[in-house]
Chains A and B, each alone.
Chain A
Amino acid sequence: SAVISQKPSRDICQRGTSLTIQCQVDSQVTMMFWYRQQPGQSLTLIATANQGSEATYESGFVIDKFPISRPNLTFSTLTVSNMSPEDSSIYLCSVEALGRGTDTQYFGPGTRLTVL
């Protein structure tokens, strides 16, 4: 499976600021996704990062709050904008491997965000 890294691994931020999380894959992948996992909870899909076009957001998530970039087949960023304590979560990227089953997802290590 692909090797997926995320930066930063964790951060503590002040409310009202923004944080950009990077997701890097060691091989080209078809699909990249961003999830949120609140403490002790399940995984919720934020959006699908589309290469060369705007991300596709799930209900309850908007581009102004979570802008996403995907400039190529191995890299994506998620920005958490104008943060509040409710944004404290683990943010994970996941990928579907190119040439493999079109629906098998592998997760990055996650970014643990704390907003004060």
Chain B
Amino acid sequence: GENVEQHPSTLSVQEGDSAVIKCTYSDSASNYFPWYKQELGKRPQLIIDIRSNVGEKKDQRIAVTLNKTAKHFSLHITETQPEDSAVYFCAASAWGGGSQGNLIFGKGTKLSVKP
């Protein structure tokens, strides 16, 4: 089955710097890669996602890149702000061809943005 590895487990940056979180996946059939942000005591919130027919996607200060050959994808946050501090989870799923498309999550990255 699918296995998703996420690095680093913790990341501390200064406000205004960039942050990069990386994930690798094992199942070449995976074709959907969402990122969730979870603030303390709150539900995971979808912040951006990418599908396997796209190499990069941007939404304001957030971008995700996908390398299907190497089976890894990354989250990039530019101009970080204190409110970006949270735990970020990557996930992967393989939808279509009869699959239920269950999301498999990475272990999470705790991002701290220091003012």
Which residues of chain A have a CB within 8 Å of any CB of chain B?
Answer: 31, 33, 41-45, 48, 56, 58, 92, 101-110
Could you say which residues of chain B place their CB within 8 Å of the CB of A58? 102
Q: Let me know if A42 and B89 touch, CB within 8 A.
A: yes
A39 to chain B, nearest CB (A): 12
Q: Let me know if B102 and A45 touch, CB within 8 A.
A: yes
Q: Let me know if B43 and A92 touch, CB within 8 A.
A: yes
Q: Let me know if A103 and B43 touch, CB within 8 A.
A: no
A51 to chain B, nearest CB (A): 14
Q: Among the listed B43, B93, B95, B107, which residue makes an inter-chain contact with A42, where contact means beta carbons less than 8 Å apart?
A: B107
Of residues 25 to 43 in B, which have CB atoms within 8 Å of A's CB atoms? 32, 34, 36, 42-43
Q: Let me know if A109 and B43 touch, CB within 8 A.
A: yes
Q: Among the listed B45, B46, B89, B95, which residue makes an inter-chain contact with A43, where contact means beta carbons less than 8 Å apart?
A: B89
Q: Let me know if A106 and B102 touch, CB within 8 A.
A: no
B97 to chain A, nearest CB (A): 12
Q: Let me know if B95 and A103 touch, CB within 8 A.
A: yes
State the CA gap A99–B95 with chains docked (Å).
15
A101 to chain B, nearest CB (A): 8
A37 to chain B, nearest CB (A): 8
State the CA gap A105–B36 with chains docked (Å).
10
B37 to chain A, nearest CB (A): 11
Could you say which residues of chain B place their CB within 8 Å of the CB of A43? 44, 89, 103, 105
